[in-house]
Amino acid sequence: MFDKNVFKEQFRLWTEENPNASCEEAKKFCEFLIPLEYKEKFNWLEEESLAWFAWKKEMHRQNKYPETQDLEEDISRNMH
């Protein structure tokens, strides 16, 4: 049986361990994690995960993380 929560955790860990991976590598990892008999049913999960991966890579590229951006804004407000 395929567990989407296990998939999400494994994919999240993989992204942390492979911060320089390409979107193609992420897609291959998703394909590896989702058994063939569940591909159609969980196609949305792969697409959602790859979109999140691309977003995360872009935020990393720009060196902008939502949690640190909020922290920087708080620090800036407190300094004035």
- Percent of the chain surpassing pLDDT 90: 65
pTM beyond cutoff 0.75: no
Q: Determine the average pLDDT of the residues in 50-67.
A: 82
* Helix, strand and coil in the chain, % to nearest 5: 75, 0, 25
Per the model's pLDDT, the better-predicted residue between 40 and 66 turns out to be 40
Size (the chain), residues: 80
DSSP state of 19: T
**What band does 80 get if pLDDT is binned at 50, 70 and 90?**
very low
pLDDT at 37 over 70: yes
